[in-house]
Structures are given as structure tokens and as C-alpha cells.
């Protein structure tokens, strides 16, 4: 953790690291006589005392909250890059989230707790730290951007959480991997600015092959194997020795992080969108929430805000960036029958829409050479 003891990892709110040996558990509230799960040998009384100290409120040990299982991946740009954090999150129905996150510079996970605000029109906002997040209309992808508030206050962060199979539904299998996926990745740290993007064909046994295009205009073939667990966790030493990702419950998005092998001080967030059979301009129309993270010369920087896209692709974007600047933008989005999305305001922007048609992921290069990762989620009606 580069000498720091507490990180703003879970949804941008620092709580207190729970001394539970890297295990997580649900908070409790009054609604019945249910014994809570207590982690790592702690007594119920000890666990409650730690949790009460962390979240600053009384909790009754009489009923377990309803909590959903998510997998989190976080990456930053700015002074604290390279850095990532990742791991399972229990997101409970009273707004509290409990995350067991492994950070790049830690050999063991820490447990964090945060209270997310009530969403307004599907958007979560915490003004003091410029935090904004949104969930896609299918309810399986949560994306957020914010600025750190500790001693590394110039650092900007992109967070992507995916709801997993533990929230209900069938276990994952190799058939969920099979298909064409589009990869978009952003690097932060010494190798920034850099992005990678392109299509990959994945088989049900996890073998993959494709051609990827790089920030500098180069391209080349890739091949390897990925492993998918029954609960949707992805690993692949062909991507990176420490690569870990997750597949969402809808089976249309994979998000992961890793530290580059042989490239010092460089981390990457990789997002793969499973492609559908056919797309039309009408798939773009609606209300979206946009989250942008830059790496390279202009970092640290994020941009976020609502985007309205008309039936003809025309859009308006009310962006707020990490410096507090507000910028009203407009232009036109286009989409091919194969799901590739472009924008009239940047010739370098290329994105794709997932098979579920609620997530758009892409990369871009600014005139200054800054590289950018973009994640858009379609909000519910």
C-alpha cells in the first residue's frame, strides 16, 4: 500500500479496516432471531464491536441483511499510480457495502465498509469527493469515478463492480465464455499513456485468439487460455501472472486488473464486452451515464455525467471533471451492425456495445497524447 494504512477503495468512502483476517460478513439489523456469520474465529460480540467502531452506529444482532455479491475492480491515474484493488463485495439492502479487497502492493486483503447514498434517478453521488456512480438498467454493472481525499488527493479512480452468480442464478460454465468479445484496456503508471483494444474469439474450453491494436498504431495477434470459476472469477497467466477478473451475472462483461509482467510500475484495467448478433441506431437512444479515466500527460483526470442520446445518434453530455469544471458537450454517436461505436467529436475514439445493450466501453487518444478509457451504462427508464 505504499506506506498507507487505509485506502478509499470501496465506493470512495474511507471507513476503518476491519481486523477480520480478510473475511467479510453482513451487518445486522432488528427484524428476527437470526444468528449472523462471524468471520475468522471472532466472537459475535467482538465482530459487532469492530463493525460498530468502523461504521459509527449501533447494530442489532437479530437479523441478517439481504446482501448481493459483487466483484470489484479499481484502478487509478495520478500520483498514486500504478495501483489497483479488487475482490468480492457484499452490497446490502440498507446501502452498506462490505468489501474484501486485495491491493497491488499488499500481500493480503483488507476489509472495507462504506455507506452508499440513496440513488437519485439511478445515480449515486457524494459531492465532497466528487463521487458519481451508476448501475446499468439490467442491474449487473456498477461504474463510478471519484478523486481520492487522503494525502494523495490528486489521484483519480475508476471503479467497476459486476454482480456475480452468488446473487442468484446458475453457476458459470465454459459455455459462458464462448463467443466474440471486444477488449479495451487502459494502462496507468510508467508505461502510460497506453491503451489496447480489439476483438477476441473465445472457445468454451477457455482458449482464445484475436488481433489487438495498440495506442501507438501497432497491432498483432494474441492467443492463450482463460479460466472461469463456478462463481464467475476469471484468471489467465496469458494475460498477466497476477490477472484476476470477473464476469457479470448477465454474462456480457468481464472486468479485470493486473500488474504488467516485465514492465515496471505499470498496471492495467481490462474490460471485455461480449458482442451480440446485430445492432441498430435505436440501441443507442436513451439516458446513459458516462465515466472517463485518463492516463498519461493530462492525468490525473476523470470526467463523468449524464448523456442523452436521441434516436438519430445526436447526444448532449453534461460533464463534470476532476477539477470541478463543467462542460456541456454535443455531437453524434454512430454504431455499426457489428456493435462498434464511434463519435463525431474524436477520430481516435472507438468503443463497443455489449450483447445486453446496456454497456458501452471504449478507448480514445487526446490531441495531447493522453489515453482514455470510457465506460457508459444505460440507465433504467
Reported as a single tens digit per residue, the pLDDT across 81-103 is 999 999 999 888 888 888 888 98
Please give the pLDDT value at position 381.
66
b/e map 50-71, b = 16+ CB within 10 Å:
bbeebbeeebebebbbebbbbb
- In this structure, of 53-62, 251-260, 360-369, the range with the lowest mean pLDDT score is 53-62
Whether the per-residue pLDDT at 55 is higher than 90: the answer is: no
What is 257-325 written as a DSSP string? EEEPTTSTTEEEEEEEEE--S---GGGT-EEEEEEEEEESTT-SEEEEEEEEE-TTSEEEEEEEETTS-
- In this structure, of 55-59, 189-193, 214-218, the range with the lowest mean pLDDT score is 55-59
List of residues 6+ apart from 183 with CB closer than 8 A: 196, 197, 198, 199, 200, 210, 212, 270, 271, 272
Residue of 156, 119, 93, 107 whose CA lies nearest to 293: 156
Please give the pLDDT value at position 252.
98
Whether the per-residue pLDDT at 6 is higher than 80: the answer is: no
What is the rounded CA–CA span in Å between residue 7 and residue 15? 9
What is the rounded CA–CA span in Å between residue 82 and residue 191? 10
β-bridge partners, 259: 267
Residue 216 — pLDDT band, cuts 50, 70, 90? very high
Mean pLDDT, to the nearest integer, of 156-181? 90
- What pLDDT, in 10s, does the model give residues 17-34? 222 222 333 333 333 333
- In this structure, of 259-268, 318-327, 329-338, the range with the lowest mean pLDDT score is 259-268
The residue among 333 and 27 whose pLDDT is bigger is 333
What is the rounded CA–CA span in Å between residue 373 and residue 24? 31
The residue among 305 and 13 whose pLDDT is bigger is 305
Mean pLDDT, to the nearest integer, of 25-45? 37
Helices H / strands E in the chain, number of each: 1, 25
The model carries a pTM of 0.85
Mean pLDDT, to the nearest integer, of 141-158? 88
Helix residue ranges, H only, 8-95: 44-55
Q: To the nearest whole number, what is the mean pLDDT of the chain?
A: 84
β-bridge partners, 185: 196, 270
Mean pLDDT, to the nearest integer, of 174-198? 97
What is 330-355 written as a DSSP string? EEEEEE-TT-EEEETTEEEEEEEE-T
All structural domains of the chain, each given as residue ranges with its CATH number in brackets, are 44-167 (2.40.128.120), 174-274 (2.40.128.120), 281-378 (2.40.128.20)
What is 219-234 written as a DSSP string? EEEEEEE-EE-TTSEE
b/e map 341-373, b = 16+ CB within 10 Å:
bbbeeeebbbbbbbbbbbbbbbbbbbeeebbbb
What is the rounded CA–CA span in Å between residue 83 and residue 77? 8
Q: What's 38's DSSP letter? A: -
CA 151, 153, 157: angle at the middle one, nearest 5?
120
Count of CA atoms in the C-beta half-sphere (13 A) of 271: 32
Amino acid at each position: 500500500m505504499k506506506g498507507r494504512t487505509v485506502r478509499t477503495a470501496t465506493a470512495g468512502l474511507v471507513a476503518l479496516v476491519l481486523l477480520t483476517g480478510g473475511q467479510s460478513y453482513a451487518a445486522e439489523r432488528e427484524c428476527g432471531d437470526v444468528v449472523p456469520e462471524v468471520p475468522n474465529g471472532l466472537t459475535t460480540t467482538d465482530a459487532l464491536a469492530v463493525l460498530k467502531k468502523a461504521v459509527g452506529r449501533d447494530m442489532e444482532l437479530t437479523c441478517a441483511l439481504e446482501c448481493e455479491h459483487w466483484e470489484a475492480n479499481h484502478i487509478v491515474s495520478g500520483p498514486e499510480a500504478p495501483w489497483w484493488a479488487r475482490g468480492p463485495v457484499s452490497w446490502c439492502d440498507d446501502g452498506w457495502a462490505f468489501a474484501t479487497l486485495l491491493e497491488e502492493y499488499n500481500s493480503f486483503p483488507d476489509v472495507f465498509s462504506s455507506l452508499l447514498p440513496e440513488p437519485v434517478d439511478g445515480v449515486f453521488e457524494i459531492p465532497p469527493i466528487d463521487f458519481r456512480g451508476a448501475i446499468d438498467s439490467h442491474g449487473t454493472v456498477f461504474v463510478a469515478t471519484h478523486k481520492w481525499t487522503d494525502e494523495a488527493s490528486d489521484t483519480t479512480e475508476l471503479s467497476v463492480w459486476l454482480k456475480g452468480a452468488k446473487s442468484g442464478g446458475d453457476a458459470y460454465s465454459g459455455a459462458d465464455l464462448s463467443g466474440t468479445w471486444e477488449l479495451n484496456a487502459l494502462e496507468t503508471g510508467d508505461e502510460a499513456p497506453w491503451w489496447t483494444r480489439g476483438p477476441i474469439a473465445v472457445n468454451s474450453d477457455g482458449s482464445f485468439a484475436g488481433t489487438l491494436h495498440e495506442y501507438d498504431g501497432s497491432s498483432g495477434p494474441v492467443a492463450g487460455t482463460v479460466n472461469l470459476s463456478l462463481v464467475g472469477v476469471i484468471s489467465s497467466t496469458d494475460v498477466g501472472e497476477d490477472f484476476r477478473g470477473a464476469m457479470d451475472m448477465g454474462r456480457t462483461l468481464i472486468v479485470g486488473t493486473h500488474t504488467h509482467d516485465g514492465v515496471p510500475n505499470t498496471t492495467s484495467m481490462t474490460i471485455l464486452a461480449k458482442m451480440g448478433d446485430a445492432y441498430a441506431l435505436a440501441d443507442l437512444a436513451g439516458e446513459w451515464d458516462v465515466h472517463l479515466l485518463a492516463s498519461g500527460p493530462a492525468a490525473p483526470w476523470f470526467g463523468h455525467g449524464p448523456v442523452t442520446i436521441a434516436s438519430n445518434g445526436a447526444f448532449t453530455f453534461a460533464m463534470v471533471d476532476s477539477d470541478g469544471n463543467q462542460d456541456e458537450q454535443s455531437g453524434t454517436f454512430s454504431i455499426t451492425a457489428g456493435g462498434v461505436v464511434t463519435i463525431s467529436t474524436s477520430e481516435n475514439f472507438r468503443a463497443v456495445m455489449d450483447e445486453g445493450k446496456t454497456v458501452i466501453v471504449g478507448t480514445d487518444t487526446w490531441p495531447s497524447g493522453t489515453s482514455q478509457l470510457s465506460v457508459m451504462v444505460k440507465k433504467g427508464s
